[in-house]
Copies of this chain bind each other. A is one copy, B any other.
Amino acid sequence: MTKGKLFVISGPSGAGKGTICKEILDEDKTLKLSVSMTTRKPRDGEVDGVHYHFVDHSAFVSLIAEDGFMEYADVYGNFYGTPKKQVMDWMDEGINVILEIDVQGALQIKKSYPEGIFIFILPPSIEELKNRILGRGSETEETMARRLGAALKEISSIDEYDYRVVNEDLQEAVDRVKAIISAEHSKINDEEVERIINRYKEEL
C-alpha cells in the first residue's frame, strides 16, 4: 500500500487557512485532519477531540518526554502541540493527513518531517489582511501594527515551503490546494518506479 502524505497548510493568521481546510475536508472525505493537543481550557462550544484534544499539564509534559509531538509550543503559559502517533498511524494506513498550523509550527514540523508537503496560504494583500483582522474585532492600533509586522515576518519564511496559494477567491484557493494534493499523488518516486516496471514486465 502507498503511504499517505502529510499536507501542512500554514500561513499568517487572517490568511484564511482555517476556512480553506474546512472546505477541503468537506469536499474530499478521504482526507483526515490532525487535531492539536492543548493544555488550555475549552472555550464555549469547543469539543474535545474535534477542536482540540484537551489535556492537563502533566499529560502534555509526559508526551513531550516520550518525544510524542511533531511540534509543540508554549503560548502565554498554555501548551499547544501536534501529537505524532495519530498522524503517523493514518499515513501508515495510506490516509492523507491535513495539518493546519501557524508558520512557527510548520517550520518545526519541516525539521522533524521534511517529507511533508508545505503549503503557504497568502492573503491577497496586506490591506485585505488588515480588513480580515479588523473583521474579527477588538484590535487596537498598536496590536494591529504588531500583528501585521508578525505576518510580514512569517511571509518572509515562505521560501521554506513547497507551494503558495493566494486566498483571494475562496473556491479558487480551495481548488488550487486540491490540485496540489492530486498532483503530489501523480509524482514519480523510486519505490513506485520499480513496482510499475515489474508489473508491466510480469504481464508481458
Contact = CB atoms under 8 A, between A and B. Distances in A.
Contacts of A186: 119, 163-165, 176, 179-180
A159 B190 contact: yes
Interface residues of A, number: 39
A76 interface: no
Contacts of A151: 200
**Taking the full assembly, how many copies of this chain does it contain?**
2
Given A126-B200, A158-B197, A159-B193, A188 B152 contact: no
Interface string A146-176: 0011011001101101111100000000011
A188 B161 contact: yes
Contact of A155 (B156, B164, B196): B196
B175 A162 contact: no
A43 interface: no
A152 B182 contact: no
A125 interface: yes
A31 to B, nearest CB: 15
Contact of A180 (B120, B126, B183): B183
Contacts of A159: 188, 190, 193
A121 to B, nearest CB: 11
Most buried by B among A178, A183, A190, A197: A183
A151 B159 CA distance: 40
Nearest to A160: B188
A187 B151 CA distance: 20
Contact of A179 (B119, B126, B179, B192): B179
A152 B204 contact: yes
20 contacts: A120-B188, A125-B203, A149-B204, A152-B197, A155-B196, A155-B200, A158-B193, A159-B193, A161-B188, A162-B187, A163-B186, A164-B188, A164-B192, A164-B196, A175-B182, A176-B183, A179-B180, A179-B183, A180-B186, A183-B184
